[in-house]
Amino acid sequence: MPHLTPRRTALLVATTILAALGLVVLLLVLSGQGIPAGLLPAAAVAVVAAYIATLLLVKRFIQARVSLILRRINDIRMTAGGRAGTEPDADVLGELDSEVTAWAEQRSEEITELKAREQFRREFIGNLAHELKTPIFNIQGYILTLLEGGLEDAKVNRDFLNRASNGVDRLIKIVEDLDMITQLESGVMSMRMVRMDLAELVRGLISELEIQAREKQVKLVCAMPEPVWVMADRDRMAQVFLNLFTNAINYGRDGGRCEVRAFPLEDEQVLVEVSDDGIGISAEHLPRLFERFYRVGKSRARHEGGSGLGLAIVKHIVESHGQGISVRSEEGRGTTFSFTLAAAR
């Protein structure tokens, strides 16, 4: 159906009147009364008058007001290259309908996004409060015990002081990790990109974590060919592997294995995979795995320690290198983290 512009609307009204007059003339002829003198000129004048009157009415009282509304909508949307007005014969009603529909859809998307952000904010504040509350209450309990007489008891005073010190260390770790994420997100922390051997870095980290891994009966393996040259920030990449190895050790099974592999890609990139055969992660948790303080098994994860920000830091560091990271996992089968790095010649 063609759009109803002002002229088409006026022509439709005039045509309707003309059809009505034609029907009257037909009825007069069929009844044998004949056509009265002056009827046809009067009909022609009526049709022309109806056309002009309808055209002026639509333009004056409908199109002008609708065009004003349309201009205001365009101003509110602040669209680049938006039109300041409409053509004289433009389908203002159809255009207004399209603009209002698009505007409503945009507002709906913004409202949905705001609700999601509000939900994320509430969860983040709740998780942050919980993460801070645990070490603070522990520190408070140890100090109160010491103040109430435990300080004089040689059997408990040093032990409680060490436990309080561990709680302080955990608080410091949370604050430092939050500060690092903030710097990564804001771009304050710049990456010092250098040509480096990724295999050498991984083997060095495995040596550092050997004792911790042996205590958990988890074997860390570098299965990368030697060497693997990439362009990356060495310190930040060390933190990425350290966090991933720590997760594999904490949540690996007895006699488990964590392996690092690298595969060259055609677009001058290197695909890095860190895989373990641990407890795995259910599919429902995977989309939120890189969120701050998000834990799959909350009580068990807090028992293992950590700030709850390790994977969030990993994601931000990889993205600061202009790359991306993903995860695939299956409960009882293990987890694989995959990310890319720029290959170095």
d(CA 272, CA 327): 12
Q: DSSP state, 233?
A: -
The tokens for 119 are 């939900």
Neighbours of 326 (CB within 10 A): 14
User: In the chain, which segments carry CATH 3.30.565.10?
Assistant: 194-343
pTM, two decimal places: 0.60
pLDDT above 70 (res 343) = yes
Q: What's the pLDDT score for residue 1? A: 47
Q: Which CATH superfamily is domain 194-343 in?
A: Histidine kinase-like ATPase, C-terminal domain (3.30.565.10)
pLDDT above 60 (res 265) = yes
**Mean pLDDT over all residues of the chain?**
78
Mean pLDDT of all residues in 111-116: 80
Of 157 and 194, more confident:
194
Please determine, looking at this structure, whether the domain spanning 118-186 carries the CATH number 1.10.287.130: yes
Q: What's the pLDDT score for residue 164? A: 87
Q: What's the pLDDT score for residue 34? A: 64
Mean pLDDT of all residues in 82-86: 48
User: In the chain, which segments carry CATH 1.10.287.130?
Assistant: 118-186
What is the sign of the dihedral through the CA atoms of 198, 204, 206 and 209?
A: negative
Taking CA atoms, 214 is separated from 41, 201, 276, in Å, by 108, 20, 15
Q: Give burial (CB, 10 Å; 0-12/13-18/19+) of 255.
A: exposed
Q: Which of 310, 312, 337 is nearest to 243 (CA)?
A: 310
Provide the H-helix boundaries in 58-91. 64-77
